[in-house]
Structure 1
Amino acid sequence: MENRSTGIPGFDEILGGGLTAPSTTLIAGNPGSGRTILGIQSLCEAVKNGEKALYICITTKSENGVREGLSNYSFYEEGLDIRVFNISSVERDPLTMLVELGNVVASLKPDRILVDSVTPIGFGFPEAERRRFIYSLSSAIGEWNAIVYLTGTMAEADVWRSVISDVVEGIVYLSQNIQRRGSRRSIKIMKMNNSDYMEGEHTFDISSEGIAIYPRINALNLDHTSELKRIDAGITKFNELSRGGLFELSSTLIAGNTGTGKTSFGLHFIVYGAMNGEPGIISSFEDNPTELRRYAASIGLELEELEQKNLIRIIYTPPSDINSCKHTVELRKNIEEIGAKRVLLDDISGFDYVFEEPVAKREHIANLLRFFKNMGLTSMLISGNRAAGNNVLVAEIPVSSLADVLILLKHAEIDKEIRKTMSILKMHGSDHEKHLIGYDITSEGIQIGEFLKDI
């Protein structure tokens, strides 16, 4: 027995390294969830690597009709063996189908087999007879010595009630939730014959290139025992206010009302790092790259020049297109490619489009922050502040307790003048300035001014 790759991006990762050969896996899900594409794509990738693969299609179409449909996908391989069984015959006489199938397998000796779908087999039979047939099919599969996929149209609750779940080593469940902004597709491992698979729900996309799976964050709580150094946030006088600067690997949340310059703080943090040997990633859910470059230039920051030197990468994702797992995979890819040491998320309220429950959003951001630390990054998050009134102590951001540093930006009326004010509400592991601090944003960047009053 050995582990073999499925050939599908992200699938091996959530399976814990691929599939055991031989083994049988049920790919279950609701209609339109992508079960057939997942199975056929894996078969075609195996063909590209020199394996023999057999697709058993239970349908009303001809083999030419099936191949014509598959040719729309870039992964399709002409070398895939296809055998078509008429769905009406299979419903009435599954045993004949089983005998014919056994003869085909014996003749071809394939390394991988997909039976799509087992749901209509013996559909008109009493349940007891269907169970006996599934056991017969299982015995036959045991003699094939191959990686076998079985697809089934089932609701999640029905999977465990099906006899098929008793005779397979693995169960993969795909679902499709049609929402106002499009479909959200998810995949999870319900059962697998190894203990290394990733639990929980992962997301995936389907395109003309096939399926791409985006594993959810699985951030371990690593212990960074070495003494962490201080780093410069790139803002004049901030080191003095923070008693030495931000800690390496720390997470800073900049919260504030509209127009307080939250993004300016983030741009200073990223640009200064890139200028001093710490490449950075900007993940923006609001401003596109052109807008960010123009904004940076207006405050004296040469963002575009650093991009051209591959010291800064901008990942722009419109809120309507945010897929939390895909976003994390894209972050990791870009972090590794440029060796990033700093990352900016602007604005984390974009995750509100993804998570209906605040608890789910909080969990995702907590995992993101741990993920950044594990990858050796110092992070900065931008968030709006929904708290009303002029109380500078109030910051109504559900994830504020997750960050190591919390900086609150507000407008305040002082001597009949609207002033921008900053207060450092917390800084783990360090003393910090306790006064309310005034600041301005000019063509030369953020200019921190005088203390305004005690808080």
Structure 2
Amino acid sequence: MEIVSTGIEGLDEVLGGGVLSPSTTFIAGTPGTGRTTLGMQSLCAAAKKGEKVLYVAISPKPESLIRQILSRFSFFEESIIIRTFNVSSVERDPLTMLVELGNIVSSLKPDRILIDPVTPIGFGFPEAERRRFIYSLNAALNEWDAVVYFTGTLESGAVKSNVISDIVDNIIYLSQNFDTHITRRYIELMKVSGMSSIQGEHTFEIGTDGISVYPKDIAQADHSIPASKERISTGISKLDGMLGGGLFKGSSNLIAGSTGTGKTVIGLQFVIEGAKKGETGLIINFEETPEELYLHASNFGWDLKGMEEKGKVKIIHTLPSSLDPNKHMMQLKKTIIQTGAQRIFLDAVNGFDYALMDPIVRKEHIAALTRMFRNLGITSLLTCLNPEGKECSNTCDIPIVTVADSVMILQQRLTSSGLRKSISIIKMRSSDHVKSPAIYEITSDGVVIEDITLEDKI
């Protein structure tokens, strides 16, 4: 048995490489979830590679109308063979349909077959008779020697008790969730035979180009990559000194602080320092648009727009309300590889709050992101909005301190002489660091740290 591609971006990865040939796959879900689109897209992708494919449409529509509807998708391939069966006929007399279908398959000998949908077949039969028909269908499948897809309209709970689930090798379940701002679509593998698949809920989108699947983040630590002892500058010399010589190359680092403490300024200095040294930087932003970041940087004399135009910096801006974390992670990985980025500034991890409401799921996703950055040899700097007055021991609402190699806390308070800002290094893996906080200011040159500590100043 060989593994063949489904022809759908991301789905092969979820399935563990594709589907076995021959095999049977049941694509189930509620109305509007994209079952037919998924099956047809896979059929058309196979047809474009020279496979003979058969689409069995159980529908009142004629073949000409079905072709017209399917041709709206850019993936549609005219060479697919379409055969239609009337719904009311297959409900009443499924055995005749099975005999006719068997003759069609014997004549055409297709490599892939889509039966869409299979759930109406024998719908009016008693359950015992319907089960006998499905087992007869299974016997026919064994003789067809093809990759066969079924679609069916079923709720998640009903899939497990349906007799079709007994005879198929794989079950793909599609669902969707509607909220005020966006419709989120999910794909889950309820059953997979003979493949090392990725479990859990993955997300997907449907467009005129068909379906794109975004696998759930599963980045694992690559232990073959040794920890680097090389240091890189943050762009702030005295902060480098506080850190024991700068950040470790390939490390993930966190800056937490309340609004106005200069988290974004430090992040921009970090990326711009790299750009000056020929290290491409990637800025991942949720709140400020690229134009707003250009303006913000220009206040300090930094030509961020010019750097991006020259390919030294790349900005990825995503609104939290439209964020698909799986798609976002895939986009980041592709961009890192395409640009050769060596530094990443993510501002801020709180942007995941809207898309990932469960704090444990948020932590897992951010941990997977940092693992991906490390595996790719990227030095990352992440910020976290820390509410005013929060103690250092509770750096942010998302508990990501444990996944960071270094943690810097920015604080500010009103004193008799004005607003006083301080920076503390509360964690630095594999290195000594300055334990006392230091005063800093945000000037026209960016963040400037003073020599004396906060205790001495006060």
Q: TM-score range by the shorter chain?
A: over 0.9
- Give the residue type in structure 2 aligned to 1:22: P
- Give the residue type in structure 2 aligned to 1:453: E
Cα distance in 1 for partners of 2:311, 2:97 equals 59
Cα distance in 2 for partners of 1:306, 1:329 equals 24
Using the TM superposition, give the Cα deviation of residue 40 of structure 1 relative to its aligned residue in structure 2, in angstroms. 0.2
Using the TM superposition, give the Cα deviation of residue 276 of structure 1 relative to its aligned residue in structure 2, in angstroms. 1.4
* Aligned CA-pair RMSD: 1.6
Cα distance in 2 for partners of 1:318, 1:162 equals 41
Q: 2:377 matched to 1:376? A: yes
Cα distance in 1 for partners of 2:448, 2:58 equals 70
Aligned counterpart, 1:418: 419
Cα distance in 1 for partners of 2:243, 2:73 equals 55
Cα distance in 2 for partners of 1:392, 1:404 equals 16
Q: 2:140 matched to 1:140? A: yes
- Give the residue type in structure 2 aligned to 1:241: M
Cα distance in 1 for partners of 2:423, 2:104 equals 74
- Give the residue type in structure 2 aligned to 1:351: F
Deviates more, 1:34-43 or 1:410-419: 410-419
Aligned counterpart, 1:61: 61
1:39-98 CA distances to partner (integer Å, 9 max, x unpaired)? Answer: 000111111111111111111222122122212211111111111111111111111111
1:96-122 CA distances to partner (integer Å, 9 max, x unpaired)? Answer: 111111111122211111001111111
Cα distance in 1 for partners of 2:434, 2:27 equals 57
Is the contact made by 2:280 and 2:343 (CA closer than 8 Å) also made in structure 1?
A: yes
Aligned counterpart, 1:28: 28
Q: 2:331 matched to 1:336? A: no
Is the contact made by 1:439 and 1:448 (CA closer than 8 Å) also made in structure 2?
A: yes
Cα distance change on mapping 1:392 and 1:47 into 2, 3 Å: closer
Is the contact made by 1:203 and 1:325 (CA closer than 8 Å) also made in structure 2?
A: yes
Aligned counterpart, 2:454: 452
2:353 is paired with a residue whose SS is helix
Cα distance in 2 for partners of 1:22, 1:195 equals 13
Aligned counterpart, 2:274: 273
Q: 2:353 matched to 1:352? A: yes
Using the TM superposition, give the Cα deviation of residue 452 of structure 1 relative to its aligned residue in structure 2, in angstroms. 1.6
Cα distance in 2 for partners of 1:228, 1:51 equals 53
Cα distance change on mapping 1:145 and 1:294 into 2, 3 Å: same
- Give the residue type in structure 2 aligned to 1:310: G
Aligned counterpart, 1:119: 119
Q: What are the equivalent positions in structure 2 for 1:17-416 lying under 5 Å apart?
A: 17-223=17-223, 224-386=225-387, 388=389, 395-398=395-398, 399-416=400-417
Is the contact made by 1:30 and 1:154 (CA closer than 8 Å) also made in structure 2?
A: yes
Cα distance in 1 for partners of 2:403, 2:69 equals 49
- How many residue pairs match? The answer is 454
Deviates more, 1:50-59 or 1:219-228: 219-228
Using the TM superposition, give the Cα deviation of residue 274 of structure 1 relative to its aligned residue in structure 2, in angstroms. 2.2
- Give the residue type in structure 1 aligned to 2:81: D
Cα distance in 2 for partners of 1:413, 1:192 equals 60
1:178-198 CA distances to partner (integer Å, 9 max, x unpaired)? Answer: 122221111122222223211
1:265 is paired with a residue whose SS is helix
- Give the residue type in structure 2 aligned to 1:197: S
Cα distance in 1 for partners of 2:227, 2:359 equals 34
Cα distance in 2 for partners of 1:387, 1:64 equals 65
- Give the residue type in structure 2 aligned to 1:144: W
TM-score, normalising length: structure 2? 0.95
Is the contact made by 1:170 and 1:192 (CA closer than 8 Å) also made in structure 2?
A: yes
Aligned counterpart, 1:14: 14
Cα distance in 2 for partners of 1:323, 1:227 equals 32
Using the TM superposition, give the Cα deviation of residue 143 of structure 1 relative to its aligned residue in structure 2, in angstroms. 1.1
Cα distance change on mapping 1:302 and 1:352 into 2, 3 Å: same
- Give the residue type in structure 1 aligned to 2:267: G
2:8 is paired with a residue whose SS is coil
1:353 is paired with a residue whose SS is coil
Is the contact made by 1:236 and 1:446 (CA closer than 8 Å) also made in structure 2?
A: no
Cα distance in 1 for partners of 2:285, 2:401 equals 19
1:341-394 CA distances to partner (integer Å, 9 max, x unpaired)? Answer: 1112111111111112111111111111111111111111111102536x5665
Using the TM superposition, give the Cα deviation of residue 239 of structure 1 relative to its aligned residue in structure 2, in angstroms. 1.3
Using the TM superposition, give the Cα deviation of residue 333 of structure 1 relative to its aligned residue in structure 2, in angstroms. 0.4
- Give the residue type in structure 1 aligned to 2:281: G
1:160-216 CA distances to partner (integer Å, 9 max, x unpaired)? Answer: 211111111111111111122221111122222223211222111001110001112
2:364 is paired with a residue whose SS is helix
Using the TM superposition, give the Cα deviation of residue 435 of structure 1 relative to its aligned residue in structure 2, in angstroms. 2.1
Q: Which stretches of structure 1, 4 residues or more, deviate above 4 A after TM superposition? A: 391-394
Cα distance in 2 for partners of 1:63, 1:149 equals 19
Cα distance in 1 for partners of 2:373, 2:42 equals 32
Cα distance in 1 for partners of 2:364, 2:133 equals 45
Mark the runs of 5 or more structure 2 residues left unpaired by the alignment: none
Cα distance in 2 for partners of 1:289, 1:102 equals 59
Cα distance in 1 for partners of 2:186, 2:105 equals 32
- Give the residue type in structure 1 aligned to 2:338: E
Mark the runs of 5 or more structure 1 residues left unpaired by the alignment: none
1:117-164 CA distances to partner (integer Å, 9 max, x unpaired)? Answer: 111111111111111111111111111111100111112222221111
Cα distance in 1 for partners of 2:392, 2:127 equals 68
